[in-house]
Amino acid sequence: QSALTQPASVSGSPGQSITISCNGTSSDVGKHNLVSWFQHHPDKAPKLMIYEVSKRPSGVSSRFSGSKSGDTASLTISGLQAEDEADYYCCSYASNIAWVFGGGTKLTV
Amino acid sequence: QVQLVESGGGVVQPGRSLRLSCAASGFTFTRHDMHWARQAPGKGLEWVAMILSDGLTEHYADSVRGRFSISRDNSKNTLYLQMNSLRAEDTAVYHCARDVTGSWAFDYWGQGTLVTVSS
């Protein structure tokens, strides 16, 4: 499977909202409602922010939300805060027991 | 709290082998499928392998199938990745991750261990 496509970088000011897109295909993002999003600070463990397209794990701020339309998934962060600055990765189940990740998006606040 | 701690990384020559370990704590290890994923320098994350909770079924990415082997010792709460015939393109930080039961997602990750394949 090919990697999902994300913008290399996005930026926003504190308090603003940003959206990160994740483009897949009809074999992964478009086929399954099994898209997740991770926040990754350098030299730390990735943190699950969204799973099953739009569900938030316990403890994740409601400022983080996910959605999907066709082959494209999106992560929206509202009320940007300095600590949101990190790399963000999307991931989709891709059939035949395999997963595919996006290339990552660097968020600058 | 859930903790996953990888070990076993290092510098290895092409064609040689290395075994990674992932020590799990803070949850019932036997109830969760487990994964390995990796991140090459300057690149994105890549899923590598998965093993079901009972240790009887494994799945691999095409890039490592036939060279890597995932296993687990449920009596020791430990996940393993045996890597054989290593190539330069296997150079990466390797993370273990816990599977969210029923959701095909990874809810907890370790910090990772660096594997460098170089002569």
SS3 content of chain A, % helix, strand, coil (to 5): 5, 45, 50
> Is B104's CB within 8 Å of A93's CB?
yes
Q: Which two tokens stand for residue A63?
A: 């400022």
Give me chain B's average pLDDT, please: 95
Q: What are phi and psi of B70, to 5 degrees?
A: -100, 140
Contact check, Cβ <8 Å, A101/B103:
no
Q: Which residues contact A50 (CB under 8 A, 6 or more apart)?
A: A35, A36, A37, A56, A60, A64, A65, A66, A75
User: pLDDT tens-digit profile of A35-47?
Assistant: 999 999 988 899 9
Per-residue confidence (pLDDT) for residue A1, from 0 to 100: 55
Name A10's bridge partners: A107
Q: Which residues in chain A are closer than 8 Å to B97, comparing Cβ atoms? A: 46
Q: Is there a contact between A63 and A38 (Cβ–Cβ < 8 Å)?
A: no
**pLDDT (0 to 100) of residue A31:** 92
Interface A–B counts its CB contacts (< 8 A) at: 65
Cα(B35)–Cα(B10) distance, integer angstroms = 20
pLDDT digits (tens, 9 = 90+) for A68-106: 999 999 999 999 999 999 999 999 998 788 899 999 999
pLDDT at A43: 82
CB–CB contact B107 A97 (8 Å): no
Contact across the interface for B44 and A46, Cβ inside 8 Å: no
Tokens 């994300």 belong to A6
